[in-house]
A and B are shown apart, each in its own frame.
Chain A
Amino acid sequence: MATVTNWIDHLSAKEVAGAVYPGVGTEGILVLIAFVLWIGWHVLAAKQESDKLSKLARKRHGPNDWKSNVTDG
């Protein structure tokens, strides 16, 4: 996985390779993982929010009911 194992060898090469992160060459897979995480987050967050809003809507609180929940700080 390590792209660099010896800085002296790396920096004294005729052409110094710029990319030094682990797993150079696997960028495509990393991007794919990022896409899956991104889409997945939206799906989960949307469901979570929808459930929360439906639950609260069913209780039909009045416009001033929240005042009884104000903490004393």
Chain B
Amino acid sequence: MTDQLGALTTVFTEFYYWITVVLMFLIHVGFCMYEVGASRYKHHQHTLMKNTMLIPLVTVTWFLFGWWIYWAFPTGPGLAPSIMNESAALITDESAFSAKWYVPNSELMAVNLGDHISGVFWAAFLLFSWTAASIVSGAVIERITTFAFGILAIAIGSCFWVIDAAWGWHFDGWMLKILGYHDAYASGVIHAVAGGFALGILAVLGPRIGKFSSSGEPRNIGPRNPWLVTVGLFLIYTGFWGFYAACNIPIFDLGPEYGMEGVTYFTATNIYVTPTTLSGITMNFLMSLSGGLLAGYLVAKGDPFWTYSSGLAGIICASAGNDLYHPIQSMIIAMIGVVVAYKLHYWVERKFKIDDAVGAVAVHGYAGVAGLIICGFVLNGYPSSGYSVGAMWVGTDYAPINPLGMFLGAIIMFVVLGFIPGWIIAKVLHGMGKLRIPREVEIAGLDYEIMEAAKDDEKSVASASR
């Protein structure tokens, strides 16, 4: 960096993403607290370890291949040509945003004086990956093996969510061009896909012992520590601020980027490089949180667990279009999402005997899908990209946002890249006898031996005279 203004812009952007990473770390702290609070005493420590270990497992694989997938797959491959090299093949050429630069042995995947952005951008996306895996973690507590969860966490965190991000959360993604897909703050690309993935696993994993009576009536296994759940969800809200900021590019000159001769227009943009403001999305974040809490309190009749979760579901539902919505639209959309998620959760539980221990499929999956579909109607006709506007299905230009495209996008997220891979991998693990813990262990409690050892230690200390 040799000129001061360029250096300031670069270092500001570097620091901006770094701050978002630190904030987003709180999402994981929140998920850990929430899950432990929702689990029963005899499973607490195992529940904590399972969610904690996804951090290194997803991080290492994200370094080895996850980040590469994001930059290689925007074209499908084979579905729509890249605007960088006009080829529909995997993007691995010499172009500026090619996956070539993000193989794990690239010089850019390290301390590099010529690149201040790749590392913090890598990290911001990695934190999204942890979130995707952590969403799944809550649904399967108290009966999945840590080994199986590790494999599934890698699959969703470093593979399937990032394929959908390349397709629908990238300025060059084929879903924007062919479908007019728009998902600014990841209703679908993180939440719907992770919710669908969790549902696929749950269909194979089965419910916790005692969850359903012999007549099939569901029993409530409520949170054992409501305070941990409360603080956990507050922390997830807090981390979500960082997530929203991380989905933006903080400062960008759109004039030359869009090829507008003589035009200079500096702005913040969303991930598709279309303009928005951090100020506006902050209003929408708070109004959708409020809409979620208001609706959740009513629909759950004041149940604290669901009211808190509904705040989150509200944000998730409005997130697809929160770069453009009016704050009151955000609030209303959040309310609709919460009612849909809550009602569907109990319907699916009764109908299919699905035991989603923390309501993750509902809060992330159903609310995310509802958010995508609603976005198709509310933002109908907006351009999905600033680079060009074309017709649906063509693929050489960008289709405008539309209800059908968003509906198909929701199916791709929840079913194609979520439910189906989750179900298949869980089936394979089940076939290997590696998916579920033995029945005797589930009854005794996963922490039995740790607790027994702690009791022995306590006795020996209590009986000591010096």
Q: Chain A interface (Cβ within 8 Å of chain B)? A: 16-21, 24, 27-28, 30-31, 34-35, 38, 42, 45-46, 49-50, 52-63, 65-66, 68-72
Contact = CB atoms under 8 A, between A and B. Distances in A.
Given A42-B147, A61-B440, 7 more contacts: A18-B115, A27-B106, A49-B145, A55-B449, A56-B444, A57-B438, A57-B439
Nearest to B150: A42
A2 to B, nearest CB: 14
A34 B100 CA distance: 19
Given A38-B61, A71-B454, A19 B107 contact: yes
Given A57-B441, A71-B454, A52 B145 contact: no
A49 B86 CA distance: 49
Contacts of A18: 107-108, 112-115
Report, as a range, how many residues of chain B touch the other chain: 35 or more
A46 B113 CA distance: 40
B448 interface: yes
| 4 closest A-B pairs by CB | A18-B114, A61-B444, A27-B105, A69-B451
A47 to B, nearest CB: 9
Interface in B95-127: 104-115
B115 A56 contact: no
B63 interface: yes
Interface string B51-92: 000000000110110000000000000000000000000000
B286 to A, nearest CB: 39
Interface in B120-140: none
Nearest to B434: A46
24 contacts: A18-B113, A19-B110, A20-B111, A20-B113, A24-B107, A31-B104, A34-B60, A34-B64, A34-B104, A38-B64, A45-B146, A46-B147, A49-B145, A49-B146, A53-B437, A54-B438, A56-B441, A56-B448, A57-B441, A61-B440, A70-B41, A70-B455, A71-B455, A71-B458
A3 to B, nearest CB: 10
Contacts of B112: 18-20
Contact of A49 (B60, B63, B147, B452): B147
Nearest to B457: A71
A43 to B, nearest CB: 10
Contact of A66 (B63, B109, B150, B445): B445
B42 interface: yes
B349 interface: no
Contact of A30 (B105, B114, B145): B105
A25 to B, nearest CB: 9
B443 interface: yes
Contacts of A62: 443-444
B440 A57 contact: yes
Contacts of A24: 107
A20 B146 CA distance: 38
B14 interface: no
Nearest to B456: A69
A45 B110 contact: no
Given A16-B113, A66-B41, A69-B452, A61 B104 contact: no
B160 to A, nearest CB: 19
Interface in B425-442: 434, 437-441
Nearest to A46: B147
A12 B63 CA distance: 32
Nearest to A24: B107
Contacts of B93: none
